Chains A and B, each alone.
Chain A
Amino acid sequence: MSELLLEVKGLKKYFPITGGLLGRKQGEVKAVDDVSFYVKKGETLGIVGESGCGKSTTGRLLMRLIEASDGRIIFEDKEITKMSKSELRRVRRDIQMVFQDPYASLNPRHSVEQILEEPLIVHGIGSKEERKKRVKEMLEVVGLSSYHAKRYPHQFSGGQRQRIGIARALMTKPKLIIADEPVSALDVSIQAQVLNLMKDIQKEFNLTYIFIAHDLGVVRHISDRVGVMYLGRLIELADCEELYENPKHPYTKALLSAVPIPDPDLKKQTILIEGELPSPANPPSGCAFHTRCTECMDICKTTRPEEHNLNGHYVACHLYNK
């Protein structure tokens, strides 16, 4: 088993709901509720879930772009959650992020060269000539050309911009890249190009990815292991093929059965989930999924399920209680 790069223990983020004249706290949204996982060096961990389940919040918590309410994040034996501001800035050299919207994640007033050079300036890497050279190299790496350096983001297509976003994340030679829905804003044909680019780069630079997406097909394509989130909780985590072939949690089963199969003759059984996604401000007692689960038992309504380890296939469900 390869080394751990990142370990997350009991991560929580409760957003306060304030209201009234004095802005008093009236409740809280449990965006991320007790999530634990680890990432090994060189692998890709996919995180899937429907919108509002806390995937993006998890990604942002890992970079401490928002502060966690509780829990520990350990990156290379250093605890990110306890770092001072200046330590945090240094560690951000090793952890970079690719954002969802390539139209919003690049400053419209900076040229591509300025955008790509900035991480190097911020971390004081290289002389001016070295930085310019690296910008050109990196543009080639992501499949653009060095003459693109003088252009502005609005002169590029969505796919090209996402390549710029990826190039920016690579500038400081990070160890971990957190990709928050990096392809969901792109056309399907462009998605494949960008995904393959990310795979190629991973090999070339020996990167580790945390890949956050809602598209099950995309996640399957790129991930080594996949975690499934529901209402702020990580309910299942397993090797990619194992999870897709042999899902254990009723939610994962339903989710996978909803993926369309491109074969009209193939009969498939769709498990329909009934009801609405409960509000994370007022999550159900016990197992968060019990209100919609087809296999709900009495214990599900009262007790939050423990995480069971079935030969490296983690699942949080009472069905697997021994």
Chain B
Amino acid sequence: MAELAKNTSAEITMQAVEEKLTPPWKEAWQSFYKNKLALAGLTIVLFFIIIAIIAPWVAPYGFKEQVLTDRMQPPSSKHWFGTDDFGRDIFSRILYGARISLWVGFFSVLGSVVIGTLLGIVAGYYGRWIDAIISRIFDIMLAFPSILLAIAVVSILGPSLRNALIAIAVINVPNFGRLVRSKVLSIKQEEYIMSAKAIGMRDTRILFRHILPNSISPVIVQATLAIATAIIEAAALGFLGLGAQPPEPEWGKMLADSKNYITQAPWTLFFPGMAIMLTVLGFNLMGDGLRDVLDPKMKQ
């Protein structure tokens, strides 16, 4: 044991150096902070989240408040973004619309992440026939254009915002499922999984304590990017009349309602369009930044 004591003395001097190392999350934040575009994305996303929260207090008008004498007013000091064909204040509707879009984006992605991750883990870890079945279902789902699949789901469930959310969650499941499956396939070959088995661990513990935490970072990135897509898909379903129903101020629905007035009242289209574009851009930039931070291959 004497020699063991000797080589630990060298380690103690190393200790002083190591204590100064920043914790991993702080390191990640620092490299995220350095990425200006990612930071811009985060700012946009936070901005919309705040808007969604404070909408009822800052909106000058109610989202379904119609003043028919003020129809299709151009932007002015009274109506910052103008009014639509029912005389509703577009600025207020966009503020309220942030709630819907973020809500749909967040919860639909949450749903697909949870279901996709579970299916992906099962397929990747157990392999064989169960993998064959799950993977073929994913293949079939991915063979459809996603918006077509969403339309199919909504037409089964009936058009409403909640069903649009479910439809968007369903169509995104295979993306997450495949991502997790491939990650699990590589991680289960790692020696620490073999060693976990050798210790005598149960499969569930291996899956949730070892495999899942090590495969989750690409899922976080994908989820951020998927929120952007989900917002667009919700808007598309709204535009087609399959998502939010009037008078809900869903941005896609607002586009659809005003498309006939594009020449007379372009502001009715411009502002909801801008809102969609900005939110999606924000999530995309943030997702790209997160990928750079969380992908270990990009490090060092």
Contacts and interface: CB of A to CB of B under 8 A. Distances in A.
Contact of A143 (B8, B194, B196): B8
Indicate the member of A63, A88, A101, A143 with the most B CB atoms within 10 Å: A143
B11 A144 contact: yes
Contacts of A119: 199-200
B30 interface: no
A193 B8 CA distance: 12
Interface in B1-57: 1, 3-5, 7-8, 11-12, 15, 18, 21, 24
B162 interface: no
B139 interface: no
B200 A100 contact: no
A318 B24 CA distance: 61
B205 interface: yes
Nearest to A123: B200
B200 A92 contact: yes
Given A104-B190, A106-B192, A193-B7, A147 B201 contact: no
A160 B11 contact: yes
Interface string A64-108: 010000000000000000000000111011001101110011111
Interface in B191-237: 191-192, 194-202, 205, 209-210, 213-214
B195 A143 contact: no
A118 B198 CA distance: 12
B21 A107 contact: no
Contacts, number: 79
Given A100-B191, A109-B213, A109-B214, A65 B4 contact: no
A270 interface: no
Interface centre among B1, B4, B18, B201 (most CB of A within 10 A): B4
A92 B191 contact: no
B213 A122 contact: no
Given A107-B214, A160-B11, A122 B191 contact: no
A9 interface: no
B11 A63 contact: no
Contacts of B5: 143
Contacts of B202: 89, 122
Contacts of A28: none
B210 A107 contact: yes
Contacts of A109: 213-214
Given A100-B191, A106-B192, A197 B198 contact: no
Given A101-B191, A105-B192, A93 B4 contact: no
Nearest to A153: B192
Interface string A105-135: 1111100000000110011000000000000
Nearest to A143: B4
A168 B190 CA distance: 17
A73 B201 CA distance: 21
Nearest to B205: A122
B18 to A, nearest CB: 6
Nearest to A190: B7
Given A143-B4, A145-B12, A97 B192 contact: no
Contact of A89 (B3, B18, B191, B200): B200
Given A107-B192, A145-B11, A145-B12, A193 B3 contact: yes
A101 B194 CA distance: 12
A168 to B, nearest CB: 7
Nearest to B211: A107
A193 B3 CA distance: 9
Nearest to A91: B200
A241 interface: no
A306 interface: no
A60 B213 CA distance: 26
A89 B201 CA distance: 7
Nearest to B198: A97
Contact of A155 (B4, B18, B195, B196): B18
A104 B12 CA distance: 25
Contacts of A168: 195, 199
A101 B192 CA distance: 10
CB-CB nearest 8 A-B residue pairs? A143-B4, A92-B200, A104-B191, A105-B191, A89-B200, A97-B198, A107-B192, A119-B199
7 contacts: A60-B194, A89-B201, A118-B201, A144-B8, A145-B12, A151-B18, A193-B7
Interface of B: 1, 3-5, 7-8, 11-12, 15, 18, 21, 24, 190-192, 194-202, 205, 209-210, 213-214
Given A63-B198, A96-B198, A122-B200, 11 more contacts: A65-B198, A89-B200, A89-B201, A97-B198, A105-B194, A109-B213, A122-B205, A143-B5, A144-B8, A144-B11, A196-B3
